[in-house]
Structure 1
Amino acid sequence: MATRTVAIQFIRAAMTTAAARGIDIRGALRAARITPEMIGHDRVRVTEAQAARIVRALWELTEDELAGLGPRPIPRGTFRMISYGVVHAPDLRTALTRFTEFVALSTEARATLTVDGSQARVVMHGDPAKPLDPLVVDIAVAVIHRFASWLIRKQIPLTAVELPYPAPPYESEYRLIYGVTPTFDTTGTGFAFDSMYLSIPVVRTEAELDEFLRTAPAGLLFRNRYDVTTADRVRNILERNTSTDWLAAEDVAKRLSLSAQHVRRLLREEGTSYRTIQEDILRDRAIESLVQGQETIEELSERLGYSEPSAFRRAFRRWTGIAPGSYRLDSR
């Protein structure tokens, strides 16, 4: 099963904000096998592992858990100590309350947990005179949500996300990050979810926390599954299929207990299609293989079901705007 990929625009955002603060991440880009040609094309995507390497490199270069992008440095190890203070909470409500209190004490950033009937909200309070970099906002929302889900060992579907900056040209990518389309240009920053999750016990141990932190930021920045949209559910079924042939649309619909016509309509309303989802899976599998560098183009094209390498190369250019070889750092 291929991992999901990340739009190159998020890597560009990290480069831009780092450069504005005099941080040179060219070495980090090389280590992550991200080539200059990849940076220049809007349709290019990278693996989650590549994006995680960039974040780790920024942490190391700046000795700051906000990677030099916040109003002031946050010493390395701050999140670790906050996590140890939260992992023994009896339930998610207590954990999130403690988390917001510890964050306020250690970083001077304020966040609050509020409950209004069936909706719980985590709201972050910034200084209007010193707005946070959009990349910091994106990371903060993702980290709090991922960590909350990890603590109770359940994916928490978000019902709303509010981001205090204008929608970027790649706003459709945010559904892949949060499982819901955010509202942009809001007066505040935060996210909402069903309050029933607050009563679920925290089930993680300190040993599990040590392992979770060892592999950070992968578990904090990238989602596993939300299955909120029809497109997500269709993709998951297609990815789990062990046959070399694609499942027919009718077979996928049957597994969803829906008619094929109804599934097509739902996908159309979400701005996608059965064929587009197939192409996304092929694209992500191709990118993952090219970055790992263990298959030749010929082997990869055959595994993905292309009759000849030239057909695969044409498809790859259509997906990303560049040739497959551009993902091979050692071929530059």
Structure 2
Amino acid sequence: MSDTTVTIDCVRVVLWGARRRGLDAGPLLVGAGVPPSLLDAPGARVPADRFARLVRAVCAALDDEFLGLADEAVRPGTFAMMCRTAIHCPDLGAALRRAGSFYALFPGAPRARLSTDPAEPEGRWEFSVHMPPRMGPFIELCLLGITLRLASWAIGRRLRPSLVELAHSRASSVADHAAVLGDRIRYERARPALVIDAADLAAPIVRDEHDLRALLAGSPAGLLAGLRPAVATSERVRRILDRDIAGGVPAAHEVAARLNMSPQTLRRHLRAEGVSFREIRDRVLRDAAVSALADGGWSVAEIAEHLGFSEASAFQRAFKRWAGTTPGAYRSARCSPPTCKGGEHRSLTAPRRHRQSGGRAESGSSALNT
């Protein structure tokens, strides 16, 4: 899903549950600010806040958090109480197990269980739920999407499953499945499931009751409406490197630690996105170097020091590899004489955490660099 809109398919499914229980869809749509005519418009989308308003209206009218999609209602407040019982667990795996045990107490709620094997590197979070005809794709999107969003929030970083399994076919998938769940999807499986790395299951819960109160405001409707694509790991890495570039970019293992994952997991995520840590690092250094050269107030030696290179010659070799020319030639070709030759040089006093040698971090060599 995008940040601000929800596909009309989701609206239709929410209304299906309402109609199933005998409610008139017209007033519900009007009350939520959704034009009824959009129901017949293929590919239409509605603002996420209006969709959340519709979900809350259906939930209140039916007294059912599962929106009339199951044979028995799930009373409002059930989701919030599940969250309160799970948040005090030591890690994500324990929280998922407790959530599954909690929902097993309610006849109308989805059944879920986490299965793990000490000899296996992954665990399996699996739902067993009745899905009415044509409603399956949306129900799976909700169950798995909210699980991912809630788990990511609980451990303080984006949870990316190794694999997502869906019961429906690829042809019947709604538009937002890949955007919310990622592209590692297998269709026509026995039941919806997330395959999660053991290292992620062992991640500690970093949220508390205060954080939970803010999250639960308007939920689960707010969580449902807020399902959207995750920020890519490569983008998160770039942001860290951009922010901490003065004195040399952090090494790969340091970035992995700040993302609360192992270097191996970071490498795997980046590989899935078609990029390596070294490529991201080189782009960040190249962009910073180009910006500094265009500024005109820094000498090549100062730029090299600012970016954490051990010596100017190492920076010159790296820049030639990135841009196909030397820093001096690049500046001469692209900067006007008044900008490049005039003005005072800045005094750079940034701390030197790492030194780059020919574009490679001497203090942080890692298999992530390839």
TM-score, normalised via structure 2 length: 0.57
Equivalent runs, 1:89-238 vs 2, <5 Å: 89-107=89-107, 109-115=110-116, 117-126=120-129, 133-134=135-136, 135-169=138-172, 171-180=174-183, 182-216=185-219, 217-223=221-227, 225-228=229-232
**Cα deviations by residue, 1:255-304 (Å, 9 ceiling, x for unpaired):** 7967xxxxxxxxxxxxxxxxxxxxxxxxxxxxxxxxxxxxxxxxxxxxxx
Partner of 1:82: 82
C-alpha separation between the residues in 1 aligned to 2:233 and 2:7?
A: 20
Structure 1: tracts of 5 or more residues without a match:
238-253, 259-332
Distance 1:12 1:92, change over 3 A: same
Partner of 1:72: 72
User: Shift of the alpha carbon at 1:127?
Assistant: 6.0
C-alpha separation between the residues in 2 aligned to 1:172 and 1:159?
A: 21
Residue-pair matches, total: 238
C-alpha separation between the residues in 2 aligned to 1:132 and 1:94?
A: 33
Partner of 1:45: 45
Partner of 1:6: 6
User: Shift of the alpha carbon at 1:89?
Assistant: 0.9
| Aligned residue type for 1:73 | A
Partner of 1:60: 60
Contact 1:163 1:182 in 2 (8 A): yes
Distance 1:229 1:149, change over 3 A: closer
| Aligned residue type for 1:155 | R
**Cα deviations by residue, 1:115-158 (Å, 9 ceiling, x for unpaired):** 35332220112469x88942333322222222211111211013
C-alpha separation between the residues in 2 aligned to 1:200 and 1:229?
A: 17
Contact 1:143 1:221 in 2 (8 A): no
Distance 1:32 1:119, change over 3 A: same
Secondary structure, in 3 states, of the residue corresponding to 2:101? helix
User: Shift of the alpha carbon at 1:48?
Assistant: 1.7
Distance 1:68 1:16, change over 3 A: closer
C-alpha separation between the residues in 2 aligned to 1:51 and 1:182?
A: 26
User: Shift of the alpha carbon at 1:211?
Assistant: 1.7
Secondary structure, in 3 states, of the residue corresponding to 1:156? coil
Structure 1 residue runs of 4 or more that deviate by more than 6 Å after TM superposition: none
C-alpha separation between the residues in 2 aligned to 1:257 and 1:48?
A: 38
Percent of aligned pairs with the same residue?
26
Partner of 2:312: none
Secondary structure, in 3 states, of the residue corresponding to 1:165? coil
Bigger mean CA offset, 61-70 vs 99-108: 99-108
The structure whose Rg is larger is: 2
C-alpha separation between the residues in 1 aligned to 2:24 and 2:195?
A: 36
User: Shift of the alpha carbon at 1:91?
Assistant: 1.1
| Aligned residue type for 1:207 | H
| Aligned residue type for 2:114 | L
Contact 1:160 1:192 in 2 (8 A): yes
Distance 1:169 1:256, change over 3 A: farther
Equivalent runs, 1:246-285 vs 2, <5 Å: none
Partner of 1:278: none
Distance 1:228 1:120, change over 3 A: farther
Contact 2:30 2:36 in 1 (8 A): no
User: Shift of the alpha carbon at 1:59?
Assistant: 0.6
Partner of 1:36: 36
C-alpha separation between the residues in 2 aligned to 1:189 and 1:19?
A: 25
RMSD: 3.2
Between 1 and 2, higher relative CO (CA 8 Å, sep ≥ 6) is seen in 1
TM-score, normalised via structure 1 length: 0.62
Secondary structure, in 3 states, of the residue corresponding to 2:152? helix
User: Shift of the alpha carbon at 1:61?
Assistant: 0.9
C-alpha separation between the residues in 2 aligned to 1:171 and 1:27?
A: 25
Secondary structure, in 3 states, of the residue corresponding to 1:53? helix
C-alpha separation between the residues in 2 aligned to 1:57 and 1:127?
A: 23
Equivalent runs, 1:239-318 vs 2, <5 Å: none
**Cα deviations by residue, 1:290-327 (Å, 9 ceiling, x for unpaired):** xxxxxxxxxxxxxxxxxxxxxxxxxxxxxxxxxxxxxx
Secondary structure, in 3 states, of the residue corresponding to 1:105? coil
| Aligned residue type for 1:146 | R
| Aligned residue type for 2:116 | V
User: Shift of the alpha carbon at 1:6?
Assistant: 1.8
Bigger mean CA offset, 107-116 vs 40-49: 107-116
